[in-house]
Amino acid sequence: MVRKNLKSLIRNEPALFAVMLVCVFSSALLLCFSYGLYQNYNVKLIESNAEYKELTLEVNEGKTLTKGELCSFIEALPQEVTDNVWLFYVSARVGSIADHRPVTDELRKQIADKLGRHIMEDDEGNKLTFDENTDLSDWDGALFYFRFRYQNGAYKLFDTSQVKGSLLSSGRMYSDEEYGSGAHVTISTDDIHSGGDNGTAFLINGNKAWLWGEEYEIIGNALANSIPTPPITAAPDGLVLEPQLYMAFTYALTKSQYHDIRNTAENIFPGMFRFDELSFPDSESRYVYNNIILISLLIAFMSAVNFVMLYRCILNRRSRTTAILRLCGCSTSRALLCCIAECFIIGVPAFAAGTAVYIPLMKRRLSAVFPYMEGAYSFKVYALIFAGYILMMLTMTGLISRANVRQSIAASVSGRR
């Protein structure tokens, strides 16, 4: 009966049959394109978010950035930017022991006693001298490392919840009040207390650290091997920083926030930092992408609906024949299966043809415009798109056919047809 119905449809309603094929064919094109478009945009968005959750600004050659200039820059940033930064990270050269504590004969003797353990050689094998005026940054590679954030007009310790594992071997971290006020407190290391082979050991005096001519209380010991580092608010404004500022963001850096950072830097100290041109997914493109996806899906859905409505028109024209078959013993389930089988036979080849046309079109044309589209597809993806569409079409067809079959019997029995 299915074969006879198809032959009758093609012979008696060729235009209607052609429109049904076009509906399914176009649905295949639109569904495959919509999926590829979504995946292409999604990959770009993920890459953008991952790339711009941190930002490193390099100081231009010939420029010098001091702690005071850095603070002026940070304090001038819009709150929207600073609220999104969970970590500002800069470093500074330590300088010599003489830069931090009074040099006495006892200190010189202490240095001389340790010379045997601290003798180093340069690349050419020459012995390096070491005294209270030796730059520790050159000797041990020691630097001050300042890690902080700036929120609601106050300097605070960086967001430690963003860091996995413990930061201290003993003691405590700075409080927000201590960090904001520039209190004379500092974090040291166990290596320094043990008098290890670290030039910075000469900065220690019991549980105190000599920094910039003043004593700082050591409140905790870090696991990392570094020199005592106080809050950046306690450092002198004239302290020269290393030529790099690192920022880590809680949420992905936006285009407007990047422009705010750039404009603020140019207003505070023109030409200090080197800014690269970054590409961001703008909101207009995002809006267009989302609308294209929604429209494509809507058109594909309406194509399926159109197919079902066209088939309903065919069923209405066959209602008298269907009613006669039912009266002659054809069951409702058998009539429904015939309708569903007929739609399946029409829909599967048409959808397969649409997919077959789309694949080379995507590879040769669309992939040039949407570079991540081709990688989004696989045999499994095409199979799922096909199965989803056919299932939706057959379900709608079954519901309409069932109602039509029942209407045909009632109309036949009542004599209205």
DSSP 138-173: HHH--EEEEEEEEETTEEEE--GGGS-S-SEEEE-P
Which residue, 250, 274, 298, sits at the end of a domain? Answer: 274
In a shared domain, residues 192 and 254: yes
In a shared domain, residues 137 and 175: yes
Tokens of residue 204, six digits? 């220690």
In a shared domain, residues 124 and 153: yes
Contact (CB, 8 A) for 199 and 134: yes
Number of domains in the chain: 2
In a shared domain, residues 231 and 296: no
- Helix, strand, or coil (residue 189): strand
Which residue, 258, 274, 290, sits at the end of a domain? Answer: 274
Surface-to-core class of residue 31, CB atoms within 10 Å of its CB (0-12 exposed, 13-18 middle, 19+ buried): buried
pLDDT score of 196: 44
Q: What angle do CA 305, 306, 309 make, to 5 degrees?
A: 85
Domain holding 108, by residue range, is 53-274
Query: DSSP code of 329?
Result: T
Contact (CB, 8 A) for 231 and 209: no
Q: Name the amino acid, one letter, at 318.
A: R
In a shared domain, residues 202 and 229: yes
Q: Where are the alpha helices (DSSP H) in 272-331?
A: 283-317, 319-327
**What is the Cα–Cα distance from 210 to 104, expressed in whole angstroms?**
14
**How much is the pTM?**
0.57
pLDDT score of 324: 63
pLDDT score of 156: 93
Q: What residues in the chain have per-residue pLDDT under 70?
A: 1, 44-51, 110-123, 125-132, 135-142, 162-166, 189-206, 223-228, 281-290, 293, 296, 318-327, 329-330, 332, 404-417
- Helix, strand, or coil (residue 217): strand
In a shared domain, residues 98 and 39: no
Q: Name the amino acid, one letter, at 261.
A: I
In a shared domain, residues 265 and 405: no
pLDDT score of 240: 93
In a shared domain, residues 152 and 136: yes
In a shared domain, residues 286 and 333: yes
| DSSP states of 22-55 | HHHHHHHHHHHHHHHHHHHHHHHHHHHHHHTSEE
Which residue, 274, 299, 332, sits at the end of a domain? Answer: 274
Tokens of residue 37, six digits? 């478009």
**What is the CA 286 to chain-centroid distance, rounded?**
15
Q: Where are the alpha helices (DSSP H) in 65-219?
A: 67-76, 79-82, 105-118, 136-140, 176-181, 190-193
In a shared domain, residues 227 and 325: no
Residue 37 has a CB neighbour count (10 Å cut-off) of 19
In a shared domain, residues 245 and 288: no
In a shared domain, residues 346 and 366: yes
pLDDT score of 197: 43
Q: Which helix (H) or strand (E) holds 341?
A: helix 332-361
Among candidate residues 4, 14, 13, 26, the one with its CA nearest the CA of residue 305: 26
**What is the Cα–Cα distance from 45 to 282, expressed in whole angstroms?**
10
Among candidate residues 254, 412, 392, the one with its CA nearest the CA of residue 325: 412
pLDDT score of 417: 45
